Structure 1
Amino acid sequence: MMGNLGQPIARADGLVKVTGAARYAGDQNQVGQLYAVLVASAVPAGRVRAIETRAALAIPGVTRVLVASDMPRIHADLDKITVPPLATRFIPMQSDNIVHEGQPVAIVVGESLEAAEAAATIVRISYERAAFIVPETAAVVSADPKKGSYSMSNTLDFNKGDAPAAIAAAPVKTGAAYTQPSRHANPMEPSAIIAAWKGDHLTVYDAVQHLPAVQNVMAAVFGLPTTSVRVVSPHTGGGFGAKAFVWPHEILAAMAAKVVGRPVKLVLTRQQMYGMVGPQPQMVHDVRLGAGADGKLLGVGHATTNITGVTEDYVEFGAVPGRSFYACDNITTSHRIRRGNVTLPTFMRSPWDGPGSWALGSAMDELARALDMDPLDLRLINYAETDPESGKPWSSKKLREAYEEGARRFGWRTRVKGGTRDGHWRIGCGMADCSQGQARFHSTARIGLKADGTARIESSFCDIGTGPATIFPQVAAEVLGLDPKQILAVAGDTDLPYSGPTYGSGTTISTGAAVQQAAYRVRAKLAKLAGWPAEDVTMRDARIMRGNEARTIREVLGEAGVSELTSEGAFDLPGGAPVDMGSPAFPARTFGAIFVEVGVDQELGLLRLRRATGVYSAGRIINPRTARSQMIGGIVWGWGMAAMEASHFEPTLGRWLAKDLAGVPLPVNADIPPEIDVGFVDEFDANSGPLGAKGIGELGATGVAAAVGNAVYDAIGLRIRDLPITPEKILAA
């Protein structure tokens, strides 16, 4: 063993990305391709009465203007596909019905993008308008399982003990509503796809987070075997959940290509992303806590309501933290929805726990204030040694160590409390818990070891910027005794072995385990060729060794007349399940604590992040360098949630008010302090998988909003329960 795991190795894909050599979906081209531009509905509800296309077709280079009657009908096989991975069962242009503003009602196809864009602006649509429902003010209802897009792993209602009675009888209690707006993911790369047919075989280059999902959905849409669909996505420029599932624009592009008989390229504009791809939904959390005078929680109530579309019921399980974070004998959680004429919401970094940690983390701070207790001590008193929901032991948990190390590094125990001054700034500190449920997915991988001491990893995993092309060679190198630079990871193609999705923080734990198994199998084959028992050998410096004996890979393969050894590995879940949230006996979560210091200028309403420390219990860290980068990105993401980001629904026009980055502020370098302190406790989670690792891509974004809100209260005594914490809310005090 070379000890590659745990080493801060630089990213293998860094050079191609910073030099522009990496090819994303929008960079792909096909001979003879046409360019598609969507024409979107200007009304939020009703139907298309007529479409006038003559002026658009008169523009030179415009080939077709496709309308609903031109499009192929969806094959019945689509009914077999669940939601998710299909983002929504409502596929536009299969009828004249309109369910939200921005919905595609026509597609202009041209020889050039410029011609198609010009034509799209002069396609004239007449509508039969209908009354629309503003989602934020719609009636609160229970989700309908028949319309559900929440089938992945959750329950709408949970009850343990008698939480309402326990809270009512508690000596100390707090309760409030905490709200957060809808937010769109805005990845750097907008969604894009190029679809090409060759007979009954479809190839698509797509910006996605799970290639086999696109393959399965496309096959179902057109009634094809999956082997007739190939999906290619060598690089995806950020996803954050927006590219996790298959959205209608992908299906429409493939339909358009089939109709016109030529490859079709569709790249969504930033504005179109708001009409084609769902946001994280607006949510209201009602959190009620009751505690004894010693701080021990006697009852926890966490009820959420989120907006959804009229076609399906998307449920954002934001109350999951209420039944997962703290030990308590009496817990009740519930999830309800408001249906409206809006793009169906979807997962967004970090689903469920990101929203839930904002509300619960704020409520815990309010309880600590009511008890006159340090918020960290309150958490230690209510530390959950086992999963509060099931009573089962955690797969692993070293949150106590994370608390201690984070408090030490930040100086939490020695901080000056409550609104100290730095010139015109009032300074405050806050902290909160970080935690994310851990998904695991069935995955496979193949490794080929060559005589020259190089190797190749093949798997269909997605590169969305999280670094799998770096850490998977580290995993294989550890087993095969190679330098990670000698191992190439090839991904992003459904012709390669199946990999689970790149979401749910599940890539490392799942595909990484498959890579490790494939490497062990290759090593066993090499040992057999050398005539040695596999359990007796190790590898180092392109040599296989047993005791004091050593032979090079080249020697062993040369004597056997073999140029390459290949093996496949798999990470299989109990019962053949495609996904789970931990082994049956051990619920799985990642944990951590975030400490922040903010400055507040009450006269100008300004809020600034001055410093942040996050320390995490997240299993074995394969590469501290890429892991630290992920956590910094998550903390920045959390700051955006806390202080800046919101997608507002305009109730008069029934549309998103701002559809680009001019109207939706995002954090930039000037908003973030030069150093964000990130650390990990030493941990190996033997129950999560053979690597001992967990996922961290979403963990860093949890807890930050609550910590910021708690720090604002510490600074100026103002409790803001409605995100984001913008200047007008500070000035209102």
Structure 2
Amino acid sequence: MNDLIQDLQSPVADAGTGFVRVGMPVSRVDGRAKVTGEARYAAEHPAHDLAYGVVVGSTIARGSIAGFRLREALAVPGVVEIITHENRPRMRSFDLFYKDMTAPAGAPFRPLYDGEIHFSGQPVALVVAETFEAARYAASLVAVDYLPQQHETNLMAHLARSHKPKPLKAGFSPPPDERGDAEAALLAAPVRIEAEYYSGVEHHNPLELFASTVIRGEDGHLTIYDKTQSSQNSRWYVSRVFGLGKDKVTVRNPYVGGAFGSGLRPQYQLPLAVMAALQLRRSVRVVLTRQQMFSLGHRPETLQRIKLGADHDGRLRAIVHEAVAETSRYEDYVEVVVNWSGQLYACDNVKLLYRLVALDQSSPMDMRAPGAAHGVHALEVAMDELAWALRLDPLELRLRNYAEQDQMKGLPFSSKALRDCYEQGARRFGWARRPLAPRSMRAGSELVGWGMATGTWDAMQMFARAGAVLHADGRLVVSSAATDIGTGTYTAMCTLAADALGLRLEQVMFQLGDSTLPVAPIEGGSSHVATVGSAVAGVCEKLRKRLFRMARRLDNSPFAKARFDEVEFAGGGLRLRRQPSVAMSVEEVMAAAGEARLEEKYLMLPKVLKQKQYLRATHSAVFCEVRVDEAFGTVRVTRVVSAVAAGRIISAKTARSQVSGAVVWGISQALHEETHADHRLGRFMNHNLAEYHVTVNADVGDIDVIFVDEDDRIVSAIGAKGVGEIGIVGVAAAVCNAIFHATGRRVRSTPMTPEKVMAPEGDVSVSAAL
């Protein structure tokens, strides 16, 4: 624990000066450690006896291993061991032991468990050597003999065998039952649109590669630095898979170089590093290559069909939203894709269907706003198509169908400032000047288009514990096994704690990223601030009351007759609200009371019974300007305004950064990102950053983020929701709708590459795109 405290102390101590309040634009407290290199990531922790492991991946998509030819690889100087399913250490046999806290239904993948091949790139061997270079060279010499079987990796070729998923994944809700008679209402509607929308496979490409460093102590204790979104989930997984007591394993992740869902589940480098450490009785590090990152899960390929029916005035009569997505053969990976269509707009007749096709690929993986990023995209493009069919302004269409409650469940919203998002975003963007007809605006040789879309995401809260120690010199140390994947968890928690006790930011330290700290949920689903933040606020409230009681008991105390609600914590201590000159610092109170430290713990449990009476969600309105060179089909996103309603904003600067980054990723989803497979080989082919295109600085124009006023005490005691996901939802749809406004051409598949944008009208359908 001491080395972890040392790791975390520097960035907090170096964070600016002055008192902070919730909502202020505070710079990251971990920023200095990151830009100076003090922050150590999973592959950067040293050990005196460290060996290096390199993974060998399968070259077939389905079949089994007939044997290995390892003589050349073992002859490489420095090679210590080559671990395969034939010589690995003991692992548990039941599927249950491999299920992490976010596992979907099915049998989780078990690395090196047996000789069966489930997907191309599956790890089949781990080469361990004294140096990384020796291990990597030897890995290239490992020869594997396979018994291939016929594989199936093409979603579009196997739609007929789709199945209804098993809804056992945390956070997944199956589509609700049909309301009314959507098909009949659709036939009766005077205005109808029907279209298919396709989303290609996207792969995670965070800056930090997946890595695990297992440091073995002399007593056999394993201290693991893992690239994960939950130290406790990884510790739980390792303990169960290898039958190790929780006191034999500690997992740490003080810094994570981006994850966005890719680290929700333990990835295969973790058990491989652990089995090597156990077998060799020494420390081992395994880092995946960028190419191997494409062997992990991905945002699933998805085909959607939407039918909308409306009156001539734009009132929706019917919504039908169907989706088919791919999953692996061994797990039913599920996402909430179609449910949003029953929440966003008022309509009496709604039918939602969601099915899966099992393929010979690795299980897909949560990726920023899983399900919503493409489910809401299809809905919002369809709404734009309906608006054009009605010759109605797209924003006006959405306002006419504004949902005051969740009609599918008959629940009110805990808070919903979406109208404010529309109004403030449109005003900032200048939407009122938008001509209705496509191809109405030009800038030189480029066509100019304006598009908009709505975004929505869940506002979730889980349970968490927090501990706090207040020292006599005024230092406050708050701890929870939370994670910061770059979202600003350190900063938000320090801000909450400093505000609660009226301390300077540099007086507060927040400890996270250690499985031995008080329990915290996996960082995902935009729930961390609402959950861990509420626990931090709770433990600080206990400290406030304890300090107040101590101050009242002091001889000749100026607070002797005061009530708790008459006191505020500010300026480094407590003071009377109506007479601020009557004050005592934290140091004075504790010195007078003879206390060296005050320690408190707090368990934050969501108020589930109350929360179930509401639909809890975040909302946004995204407005986008594009410029299209029609001769080349190139699209430039020159301007985006994103107006977001996400409850009370705790840390304004990091929250704005989150939304800006999400908008960039939304542009990438819209125009660039797609992993292509050669279905003859069953393999993703563009598995590198030279061929897998992502948005770069030159692709990003002006991004303007607006946070509208919202304070939701149903979602959380601190009024916060979350901003990690909502920023990406609707961005790709706004880009698509802007392209239509610029060109008059509708592209119904992502990414919207130049050849699709250039295609003549009628050739930009899903079938043509594929």
AA matched with 1:75: R
Query: How do residues 669-684 of structure 1 correspond to structure 2 at under 5 angstroms?
Result: 669-673=697-701, 675-684=702-711
Q: Distance in 2 between matches of 1:476 and 1:516?
A: 7
Superposed displacement of residue 140, structure 1: 4.0
AA matched with 1:264: V
**Does the aligned pair in 2 maintain the 1:75–1:222 contact within 8 Å?**
yes
**Does the aligned pair in 2 maintain the 1:642–1:708 contact within 8 Å?**
yes
Matched residue, 1:205: 225
Structure 1, unaligned runs of 5 or more: 577-581
Q: Distance in 2 between matches of 1:179 and 1:329?
A: 27
- Tell whether 2:587 aligns with 1:587: no
Matched residue, 2:415: 396
RMSD: 1.8
Deviation per residue, 1:416-442 (Å, 9 max, x gap): 343211111001110000111122121
Matched residue, 1:432: 453
2:531 paired residue among 480, 486, 510: 510
Secondary structure of the residue aligned to 2:202 is: coil
Q: Distance in 2 between matches of 1:244 and 1:697?
A: 14
- Tell whether 2:77 aligns with 1:50: no
**Does the aligned pair in 2 maintain the 1:441–1:500 contact within 8 Å?**
yes
**Does the aligned pair in 1 maintain the 2:176–2:339 contact within 8 Å?**
no
Q: Distance in 2 between matches of 1:658 and 1:293?
A: 46
Query: How do residues 151-230 of structure 1 correspond to structure 2 at under 5 angstroms?
Result: 151-156=170-175, 158-198=177-217, 199=219, 201-230=221-250
- Tell whether 2:400 aligns with 1:367: no
- Tell whether 2:633 aligns with 1:602: no
2:360 paired residue among 341, 353, 358: 341
- Tell whether 2:58 aligns with 1:41: yes
2:497 paired residue among 454, 457, 476: 476
AA matched with 2:470: L
Secondary structure of the residue aligned to 1:691 is: coil
AA matched with 2:728: A
Superposed displacement of residue 144, structure 1: 6.0
- Larger displacement relative to structure 2 (462-471 or 85-94): 85-94
**Does the aligned pair in 1 maintain the 2:672–2:751 contact within 8 Å?**
yes
1:543 paired residue among 556, 560, 573: 573
- In structure 2, the CA distance between the partners of 1:166 and 1:656, relative to structure 1 (3 Å rule), is same
Deviation per residue, 1:22-51 (Å, 9 max, x gap): 100011122201100001101111111111
Matched residue, 1:250: 270
Query: How do residues 645-656 of structure 1 correspond to structure 2 at under 5 angstroms?
Result: 645-656=673-684
- In structure 2, the CA distance between the partners of 1:151 and 1:467, relative to structure 1 (3 Å rule), is closer
2:602 paired residue among 563, 569, 572: 569
Q: Distance in 2 between matches of 1:157 and 1:130?
A: 38
Q: Distance in 1 between matches of 2:165 and 2:667?
A: 34
AA matched with 2:568: T
Secondary structure of the residue aligned to 2:574 is: strand
- Larger displacement relative to structure 2 (540-549 or 445-454): 540-549
2:78 paired residue among 28, 52, 61: 61
Q: Distance in 1 between matches of 2:95 and 2:249?
A: 15
1:640 paired residue among 668, 674, 681: 668
Query: How do residues 345-494 of structure 1 correspond to structure 2 at under 5 angstroms?
Result: 345-417=364-436, 418-419=438-439, 420-494=441-515
Superposed displacement of residue 77, structure 1: 6.7
- Larger displacement relative to structure 2 (9-18 or 136-145): 136-145
Secondary structure of the residue aligned to 2:228 is: coil
- In structure 2, the CA distance between the partners of 1:264 and 1:78, relative to structure 1 (3 Å rule), is farther
**Does the aligned pair in 1 maintain the 2:272–2:286 contact within 8 Å?**
no
1:707 paired residue among 730, 734, 739: 734
Q: Distance in 2 between matches of 1:4 and 1:78?
A: 48
Superposed displacement of residue 488, structure 1: 1.4
Matched residue, 1:30: 47
Q: How many residues align?
A: 725
Superposed displacement of residue 142, structure 1: 4.8
Q: Distance in 2 between matches of 1:544 and 1:438?
A: 34
Q: Distance in 1 between matches of 2:501 and 2:139?
A: 55
- Larger displacement relative to structure 2 (508-517 or 250-259): 250-259
Q: Distance in 1 between matches of 2:737 and 2:586?
A: 58
Superposed displacement of residue 468, structure 1: 1.2
Secondary structure of the residue aligned to 2:198 is: strand
- Tell whether 2:550 aligns with 1:529: yes
Superposed displacement of residue 201, structure 1: 3.5
Matched residue, 2:718: 691
Secondary structure of the residue aligned to 1:701 is: coil
Q: Distance in 2 between matches of 1:135 and 1:228?
A: 44
AA matched with 1:497: P
- Larger displacement relative to structure 2 (414-423 or 94-103): 414-423
Secondary structure of the residue aligned to 1:448 is: strand
**Does the aligned pair in 2 maintain the 1:398–1:617 contact within 8 Å?**
yes
**Does the aligned pair in 1 maintain the 2:323–2:353 contact within 8 Å?**
yes
Superposed displacement of residue 82, structure 1: 4.3
Matched residue, 1:619: 647
- In structure 2, the CA distance between the partners of 1:617 and 1:156, relative to structure 1 (3 Å rule), is closer
Matched residue, 1:75: 92
Secondary structure of the residue aligned to 2:549 is: helix
Structure-2-length-normalised TM-score: 0.91
- Tell whether 2:22 aligns with 1:5: yes
- In structure 2, the CA distance between the partners of 1:144 and 1:65, relative to structure 1 (3 Å rule), is farther
- Larger displacement relative to structure 2 (152-161 or 388-397): 152-161
- In structure 2, the CA distance between the partners of 1:727 and 1:273, relative to structure 1 (3 Å rule), is same
Matched residue, 1:579: none
Superposed displacement of residue 388, structure 1: 2.5
Deviation per residue, 1:222-262 (Å, 9 max, x gap): 22333332110110000011111122321122112111111
Secondary structure of the residue aligned to 2:454 is: strand
Q: Distance in 1 between matches of 2:405 and 2:508?
A: 40
Superposed displacement of residue 569, structure 1: 2.3
- Larger displacement relative to structure 2 (508-517 or 545-554): 545-554
**Does the aligned pair in 2 maintain the 1:85–1:246 contact within 8 Å?**
no
Superposed displacement of residue 219, structure 1: 1.4
Structure 2, unaligned runs of 5 or more: 1-17, 553-559, 761-770
AA matched with 1:189: E
**Does the aligned pair in 2 maintain the 1:48–1:126 contact within 8 Å?**
yes
Structure-1-length-normalised TM-score: 0.96
Secondary structure of the residue aligned to 2:299 is: coil
Q: Distance in 2 between matches of 1:570 and 1:402?
A: 34
Q: Distance in 1 between matches of 2:235 and 2:284?
A: 17
- Tell whether 2:760 aligns with 1:727: no
- Larger displacement relative to structure 2 (304-313 or 242-251): 242-251
Query: How do residues 79-94 of structure 1 correspond to structure 2 at under 5 angstroms?
Result: 79=96, 82=99, 84-86=101-103, 89-94=108-113
Q: Distance in 1 between matches of 2:659 and 2:370?
A: 16
Q: Distance in 2 between matches of 1:256 and 1:47?
A: 23
Matched residue, 1:231: 251
Q: Distance in 1 between matches of 2:699 and 2:177?
A: 39
Superposed displacement of residue 143, structure 1: 4.2
- Tell whether 2:495 aligns with 1:495: no
Q: Distance in 1 between matches of 2:304 and 2:651?
A: 36
Secondary structure of the residue aligned to 2:740 is: helix
AA matched with 2:381: S
Deviation per residue, 1:429-483 (Å, 9 max, x gap): 1000011112212112112222222211211111110111111111111210112
**Does the aligned pair in 1 maintain the 2:164–2:354 contact within 8 Å?**
no
- Tell whether 2:687 aligns with 1:666: no
Deviation per residue, 1:47-99 (Å, 9 max, x gap): 11111111111111000011102123432575166465247612121110001
Secondary structure of the residue aligned to 1:295 is: coil
